[in-house]
Structure 1
Amino acid sequence: MKLRKSLAVAVAGAAAVGLTACAGGAAPTQNGGEGDADTVTFRSWSPIEQTTRQMIEAFEGENEGSSIDATIFNYPEYLVDLQSRASSNTMPDIVGLQPGALTQQYRDNLMPLQDCAAETWGDDWQDRFYPIGIEQSRMGNPEGDENFYSLPILTQTVNLWANSNIFDDAGLEVPKTWDDLKSVTEELSGGDAAPFLLPAKDSWLRNVVFLQIANNVSPGTVYEAEDGTIPWTDPAIVEAFSYWSKLFSDGIAQDGAIGLDAYPSAVNQFEAGNAAMIPLGAWWIQQSDPTKSDIPPLSEGMSGYEPFLFPTIPGGASESQFVGGIDVSLGISKNTANPDLACKVLTDFIAGSGAQKLVNTMNDVPAVTGLSPEEFTSEKQEEIWNLFVDEWLPQVQYSRYFESPKLDQAVADALAAIATGDATPEEAAASVQSVQDTLN
């Protein structure tokens, strides 16, 4: 997933546009800045450094005298830096976050953002966002706390992608049901490309595939288990684990799937044409970024790809369910010395000139409606973009995240145990319930 994909650390040559060479840069003041009322600091793992540079240039070009001091980390390094700064009370002015666990971990360090949003966009500001983004922005808040401690700049669906060239050559349609998936996999077996490339090594990938399965088996039930309303051993949840198991026992996933990571291994194979299907998400459209050169043939204008929803499950929902949510969101430190400027930067990155630069690279789908790239390189690229923003994202109601990091890991571990044959679906469900019991 792009969220955890290795990203370039900001380089010293970017200093002219406010990017520091490495984590920390010059010794920060208590609020994470440099003591300059016209500068705000920004730390995150996303957007990537090249895109962040363009966003900063756009903002600074319209706000003479203001500057943004930014560093983009690899995701694991960012988490370490953020934790260190929070513990030493040197939080950056603006920080990259994810909904649920990560935002809640730093809630006490963050200022509520609803006043910033209302002052910028008016009292009806929530209407600008896709509903799933608003819902997830408060995910995990304590009961009665209606504050927004972060706001999204990018959203996404999780779904499947097909190599349309392989499907066209074979005279096949993308699968809509589980039986279709099995049939298509069998038809494509024995060829040069893997029929269904499952990078099951990554815990996040296992979980997003499982959540698509679970919501197709019984829409919304998995979240009832998450909040303790029903046990994880509920028959619908066990059935969802069973269909995850069938990916392996029915020969749909490739041999050795549990040892394959998504980035860089699986995505490189998919982009090279060595797989017919792969589970990723809306962010895959970034492979066709119009601002890049030397794009592989399949990715140029999205010519070789087709997105589709996870197939329906026998006895489950009659139509494929939409799962997704926030890609990356931003928060503002409550100790910032520059709250007005920080608000101005954050809202610009969401829906202003900075956001336009972000969308132009197709880094992912915007968090607000009405934003589109200024250039499309093909009709197919534009059709796929419009499919996401006009049809799929407005229908997303099921989250691709768990609120608790412990539960998130428990589900990922249970799925890995099933994949390796170390646990049955029933045993996997019971193992998650044992973790749930400690949370309750």
Structure 2
Amino acid sequence: MKRHKTFMAIAAATALSITLAGCAGGASKDESDSGAGTGTTGELTFRSWSPIEQTTKQMVDTFTAANPGSKIDSTIFNYPEYLVDLQTRASSNTMPDIIGLQPGALTQQYRSNLMPLQDCAAKTWGADWQSKFYPIGIDQARLGNPEGDENFYSLPLLVQTVNLWANTKIFEEKGASIPKTWDELKSTVDQLKGGEYAPFMLPAKDSWLRNVVFLQIANNVAPGLPYEAEAGTKSWADPKLVEAFTYWQKLFTEKIAQDGAIGLDAYPSGANQFEAGNAAMIPLGAWWIQQSDPSKTGLPPLSEGMSGYQPFLFPTIPGGASESQFVGGIDVALGISKNTKNPDLACKALTDFIAGAGAQKLINTFNDLPAVTGLNPEKFTSDKQKQIWNTLTTEWMPNVKYSRYLKSPEMDTALGDALSAVATGQLTPQAAADKVQAAQQKVK
């Protein structure tokens, strides 16, 4: 699945937060009553924007074949349409049994509609069930819970790092090396200029991408500081965060990003350009490995077996951390309606999708990285694809410490807007930091 379905419409999610805050209710006859049953029999409904429809069908078919008497009615939407559908169902007491969610804002908007899942997890995987998951997934699963609420209202299905990708064909042709520092990034961009491609393609039109690039910069400048600022223990106007805004600005003023970056979206435009070979570097994330899904035919040459790509971490910033920092988190999580008529079957299906036979079908498509450790595709199409997979799952994901999300939709929007204003020259880094801090004070 392409990430524009996952990450677009952040503004829509923010708008929904107010609408949904008071929405509560259970499953209606149209939804969960049809799933009345016990154990492995009965019918469930599943609604989400991810995984893609073809992959979801494989997961559902695998589960129902192993559980005679069960049925799962699944519908996969584009992300913006999914938000509208979920809002409608919440307000009309027709919540699906199994629900696709994102950590933080989206899960919290529906918290009153969701069943705590820790008992389901312990029943399936044992008392130490949390150890099955990458740590960042467990941390983010309770992102935004009220103080003292330790429930898991969703469990991660897929996780990811945010990072950069290199077109290795261009790098090899130009004799360039993967940049590890900011100065190396600048010199590499200069070295790669002059071709019929962008040395560093930045799809800055999308708020989600602006934010994840900034969080990589900020966590290189001062690891963990953005989250202290959001918690109110530090200020967004802290000099180190002003410095992070300054380095974001330098992507534009020092001509590292291509001209017109603020008008380019990540999906479909930026991704299509990168896959066509029209960029040497792009900031995306671990999900890019899905371009090499072996179930697809007619893959572009660069994507076949990941032959033309290499992931790398955002270069370090002068005076900041000596090593690049790992930023990432949950791609998609799953929840269960608290009013489902068949909680046992819903639990069994949800846990199968996360770590059972259904999960294996999912991971075989390289849709993203599994939320549980040790789950790998049954088939790799090249040594390069396997090498990249191992880098992402065994070297990077266990070390992801910093979230690619902020807790509140208001702050997510405030940060994205401030970064846009810096990119277009409407705000200085200091003014942008002050504006985000003002938004933080209002939220608190």
Query: Is residue 2:160 matched to residue 1:148?
Result: no
Counterpart mapping for 1:78-157 below 5 A: 78-157=82-161
Partner secondary structure for residue 255 of structure 1 = coil
Counterpart mapping for 1:344-423 below 5 A: 344-423=348-427
1:36 to partner: Cα distance: 4.4
- Counterpart CA distance in 1 for 2:35 and 2:373 is 36
Alignment match, 1:163: 167
- Counterpart CA distance in 1 for 2:439 and 2:2 is 28
Matched letter for residue 92 of structure 1: P
- What's the TM-score, normalizing by structure 2? 0.93
Query: Is residue 2:338 matched to residue 1:337?
Result: no
Partner secondary structure for residue 330 of structure 2 = strand
Percentage of pairs with the same residue: 72
- Counterpart CA distance in 1 for 2:96 and 2:5 is 22
Indicate which of 218, 225, 230 corresponds to 2:222: 218
Partner secondary structure for residue 248 of structure 2 = helix
Counterpart mapping for 1:37-52 below 5 A: 37=37, 38-52=42-56
1:31 to partner: Cα distance: 4.9
Partner secondary structure for residue 34 of structure 1 = helix
- Counterpart CA distance in 1 for 2:31 and 2:222 is 46
1:5 to partner: Cα distance: 2.6
- Counterpart CA distance in 2 for 1:201 and 1:3 is 14
Alignment match, 1:425: 429
1:108 to partner: Cα distance: 0.6
1:207 to partner: Cα distance: 0.3
1:251 to partner: Cα distance: 0.3
Count of residue pairs the alignment pairs up: 421
Cα deviations by residue, 1:87-133 (Å, 9 ceiling, x for unpaired): 11111000000001110110010000000000000001000000000
Q: Structure 1: any 5+ residue segments left out of the alignment? A: 8-26
- Counterpart CA distance in 1 for 2:6 and 2:211 is 20
Partner secondary structure for residue 34 of structure 2 = coil
Partner secondary structure for residue 159 of structure 2 = strand
- Counterpart CA distance in 2 for 1:188 and 1:35 is 58
| Contact residue 93 and residue 332 of structure 1 kept, 8 A | yes
Alignment match, 2:11: none
Query: Is residue 2:309 matched to residue 1:308?
Result: no
- Counterpart CA distance in 1 for 2:372 and 2:247 is 34
1:4 to partner: Cα distance: 3.2
- Counterpart CA distance in 1 for 2:33 and 2:269 is 38
1:33 to partner: Cα distance: 5.2
| Contact residue 5 and residue 80 of structure 2 kept, 8 A | no
Query: Is residue 2:4 matched to residue 1:4?
Result: yes
- Counterpart CA distance in 2 for 1:364 and 1:191 is 32
Partner secondary structure for residue 5 of structure 1 = helix
- Counterpart CA distance in 1 for 2:215 and 2:173 is 31
Query: Is residue 2:442 matched to residue 1:438?
Result: yes
| Contact residue 30 and residue 89 of structure 1 kept, 8 A | no
- Counterpart CA distance in 2 for 1:240 and 1:34 is 52
Matched letter for residue 34 of structure 2: E
- Counterpart CA distance in 1 for 2:53 and 2:258 is 34
Counterpart mapping for 1:320-335 below 5 A: 320-335=324-339
Matched letter for residue 350 of structure 1: I
Indicate which of 198, 203, 206 corresponds to 1:202: 206
Structure 1 outlier segments of 4+, above 6 Å: none
Cα deviations by residue, 1:119-154 (Å, 9 ceiling, x for unpaired): 000001000000000000011111111000000010
Indicate which of 217, 230, 237 corresponds to 1:233: 237
Query: Is residue 2:282 matched to residue 1:278?
Result: yes
Query: Is residue 2:56 matched to residue 1:56?
Result: no
- Counterpart CA distance in 2 for 1:245 and 1:275 is 21
- Counterpart CA distance in 2 for 1:313 and 1:261 is 26
- Counterpart CA distance in 2 for 1:137 and 1:402 is 13
- Counterpart CA distance in 1 for 2:6 and 2:263 is 18
Q: CA distance change for structure 1 residues 415 and 33 in 2, over 3 Å: closer, same or farther? A: farther
| Contact residue 314 and residue 324 of structure 2 kept, 8 A | yes
Query: Is residue 2:323 matched to residue 1:319?
Result: yes
Alignment match, 1:13: none
1:30 to partner: Cα distance: 6.1
- Counterpart CA distance in 2 for 1:101 and 1:398 is 17
- Counterpart CA distance in 2 for 1:413 and 1:359 is 35
- Counterpart CA distance in 2 for 1:85 and 1:223 is 33
Cα deviations by residue, 1:295-351 (Å, 9 ceiling, x for unpaired): 110000000000000000000000000000000000000000010000000000000
- What's the TM-score, normalizing by structure 1? 0.94
Partner secondary structure for residue 297 of structure 2 = coil
| Contact residue 154 and residue 365 of structure 1 kept, 8 A | yes
1:35 to partner: Cα distance: 4.6
- Counterpart CA distance in 1 for 2:426 and 2:57 is 47
Cα deviations by residue, 1:403-433 (Å, 9 ceiling, x for unpaired): 1000000000000001111000011111111
- Counterpart CA distance in 1 for 2:363 and 2:210 is 28
Partner secondary structure for residue 99 of structure 2 = strand
Matched letter for residue 150 of structure 2: E
Matched letter for residue 350 of structure 2: L
- Counterpart CA distance in 2 for 1:50 and 1:28 is 27
Farther off after superposition, 124-133 or 29-38? 29-38
Indicate which of 62, 65, 69 corresponds to 1:65: 69
Matched letter for residue 121 of structure 1: W
